[in-house]
Amino acid sequence: MTPLVLDGPVLPLIALIWPLVLGLAAALPAIRTHAITLLPLAPLPALLLALVAMTGAGSGAETVVGFVLLGVVLGQPPLGMLLLGMTAFLWLAAGVYAVAYMRSARRPAVFTGFWCLTLAGNLGVFLAQDIITFYVAFAAVSLAAYVLVVEAASKEALRAGRIYLTLAVLGEACLLAGFTIGAAAADTLRIEDMRAALPQAPLGGLAGWLLLAGFGLKAGLVPLHIWLPLAHPVAPTPASAVLSGAIVKAGVIGLILFLPPGTGLAGVLVTAGLFGAFAAALYGLSQANPKAILAYSTISQMGLVMALIGAALTAGSGMEQAGFYAFHHGLAKAALFLSVGVVAGAAGGRRVAALGLAALAALSVAGAPLSGGALVKAAGKPVLAGGAGATAEMLMTISGITTTLLLGWFLIRLSREATPEGKHSAGRSDWRLWAPVLALSLGAVLLPWGLWSDWSGGLGPDYPWRGTTLLAAAWPVATGLAAGLLANWRGLVMPRLPTGDLAPMLERAVLTTIRQAERADTARRSLAQKTVTSPLPRSLGNQTGQLVARLEAALGQWRWSGLAALVLILVLAGFM
């Protein structure tokens, strides 16, 4: 326990509290109906913090709030600040977009409140230096986002929300178990101490796997990704953008901060990540909804990020480049999601311009030469080569082909979207819809240039201009474009497959089990009423349920309970 009440810079604290204050303010009757207009204000202190820290002033200082939670410690590590800045910028852009887009929100105050809570959590994971603060922030970003997912209240949205929440809760449980084991081993609550203590700790290996599962779930690690293609598309467009651009990065920072070095987990991350990078891109080609295609692209790109994290874990350096890659992906993916709403509502020249912006962001994600995406890939490849071998590096290069195909398919589907989009389509030429897409697309393409010298791992200012670099960036995109054109010309399209790939199957299995249990319950009730019922199919599940209920009924009678008490006494006394 820290005796200090408050120590260190206050800006990190303000960055977290400010969105919460706005979220609460949204509930005030005077503000309630226009609450959405508060959204762009929420990430401003965090953006300021990131800019100040990135320019070097005050970096490294820690903020300690001794009386909150179990002692909150906030820090400003460079990698955290890079992702914090990206996250704040993205939420700002999406917030501006939402002001125009969400005009007819069903419950503006509720949406605003949970938007702000999710934002605070999302910022918190980059600032937290102790396990508990991190856990609280992670829970906030993870669970509060449920309300953003189900905003439409449609049947698909509620279904996606159910799956999202179930897996989010499972993920939280994994993290709680992992953190508990880690904290017991470390004997302090600091994240770096726990990370250092885990490899030698009893059950440290188990804790590592639990953390991998908990964070992997959030980051869309295949096969824990199944909620992602369901949840990201059903949310309102600005919420999709933050989900796919920023919220998945909470999982990324978790993996970066917590996974202990020198375990088999690094190899798992590389393998699963690279597998996901290709599998998700190919599966995405079977989707018709542009937002679902983007969701699969997110899984694919996050696969590459996680492969980079795995390689950096093995090599002992290179996490910065993994973060750099995630930085670019966040901006570009948010631009792509937001462009969906703009394109769908525009016609004629405006529509072409919007598609152009989307294409710009898409090219950057694919890593076209001289784009921001090419830079982050160029920075990442040596890390992958060093930590996971030349094959992994080659696979990352080749993934440019599948990414080009996938995002090309996205652009085709997007251009075929009918106009207008729907009830949210008021104010099509609204600058608040255009400016965020423009800012994010340009940011994705240009910002990595500004960050190159600090985040490329010392590759030198001329590295992006070298012939080999340009060629390595150009050929996958060119190949992808050629393959796409060829497929288009031959009329080849992927068959339509269900969104969420494994999810519908699992969902059916779970629902069947629940129905059986319910049927067993009904059967038990009717038996209890001594009515004759037809014999019901029995499964292990309903038998167990009946057994529990019968045992309980017996324990409710005093003679059985008394007997149980006697047995208990004897067991307690005798067995030991």
Q: Which is nearer to another protein, 28 or 564 (CB)?
A: 564
CA-CA-CA-CA dihedral for 380, 385, 391, 395, to nearest 10? 0
Structure token pair of residue 113: 């409140």
117 binds another protein (CB under 8 A): no
SS3 at position 6? strand
In the block, which residue shows the tokens 């903020």?
A: 63
Structure token pair of residue 285: 């080609």
Q: Specify the stretch interacting with another protein by CB under 8 A; choose among 43-51, 62-70, 274-282, 393-401.
A: 62-70
The residue from 79, 87, 179, 196 that contacts another protein (CB under 8 A) is 179
**Strand order of the sheet with strand 63-65?**
6-7, 63-65, 72-74
Distance CA 399, CA 324 (A): 18
In the block, which residue shows the tokens 């982050």?
A: 376
184 binds another protein (CB under 8 A): yes
Which residues are registered as beta bridge partners of 130? 190
Tally Cβ neighbours within 10 Å of residue 173: 13
Q: Which is nearer to another protein, 106 or 538 (CB)?
A: 106
543 binds another protein (CB under 8 A): no
The residue from 203, 478, 487, 494 that contacts another protein (CB under 8 A) is 203
Q: Specify the stretch interacting with another protein by CB under 8 A; choose among 69-77, 94-102, 254-262, 387-395.
A: 69-77
Largest CA distance in the chain: 87
561 binds another protein (CB under 8 A): yes
Q: Which is nearer to another protein, 101 or 146 (CB)?
A: 146
552 binds another protein (CB under 8 A): yes
The residue from 31, 41, 48, 70 that contacts another protein (CB under 8 A) is 70
132 binds another protein (CB under 8 A): yes
Structure token pair of residue 173: 């449980």
In the block, which residue shows the tokens 């983007």?
A: 294
Question: In terms of Cα–Cα distance, which of 317, 284, 254 is closest to 399?
Answer: 284
Q: Specify the stretch interacting with another protein by CB under 8 A; choose among 329-337, 379-387, 433-441, 556-564.
A: 556-564
Rounded least distance, CB 516 to another protein, Å: 14
In the block, which residue shows the tokens 């049947």?
A: 155
Taken in order 327, 331, 332, 333, the sign of the CA dihedral is positive
H-helix segments, 187-260:
191-197, 204-219, 228-234, 237-242, 248-258
136 binds another protein (CB under 8 A): yes
Which residues are registered as beta bridge partners of 72? 65
Please, are residues 288 and 267 in contact by the beta-carbon 8 Å criterion? Answer: no
The residue from 48, 170, 268, 398 that contacts another protein (CB under 8 A) is 170
Q: Which is nearer to another protein, 214 or 323 (CB)?
A: 214
User: Is the N-terminal amide bond of 77 cis, ω within 30° of 0?
Assistant: no
Tally Cβ neighbours within 10 Å of residue 202: 10
In the block, which residue shows the tokens 């149980």?
A: 564
575 binds another protein (CB under 8 A): yes
Distance CA 138, CA 66 (A): 20
143 binds another protein (CB under 8 A): yes
545 binds another protein (CB under 8 A): yes
521 binds another protein (CB under 8 A): yes
Between β-strands 63-65 and 6-7, what pairing exists: parallel, antiparallel or unpaired?
Answer: antiparallel
Rounded least distance, CB 16 to another protein, Å: 12
572 binds another protein (CB under 8 A): yes
Rounded least distance, CB 181 to another protein, Å: 6
Rounded least distance, CB 227 to another protein, Å: 15
51 binds another protein (CB under 8 A): no
Residue type, 424: H
Q: Specify the stretch interacting with another protein by CB under 8 A; choose among 52-60, 214-222, 336-344, 548-556.
A: 548-556
Q: Specify the stretch interacting with another protein by CB under 8 A; choose among 46-54, 178-186, 354-362, 381-389.
A: 178-186
Q: Specify the stretch interacting with another protein by CB under 8 A; choose among 259-267, 375-383, 483-491, 546-554.
A: 546-554
17 binds another protein (CB under 8 A): no
29 binds another protein (CB under 8 A): no
Under DSSP, the state recorded for 72 is E
User: Which residues contact another protein (rule: CB under 8 A)?
Assistant: 1-2, 66-71, 132, 135-136, 139, 143, 150, 153, 158, 165, 169-170, 172-174, 176-177, 179-181, 183-185, 202-203, 521, 545, 548-549, 552, 555-558, 561-562, 564-565, 568-576
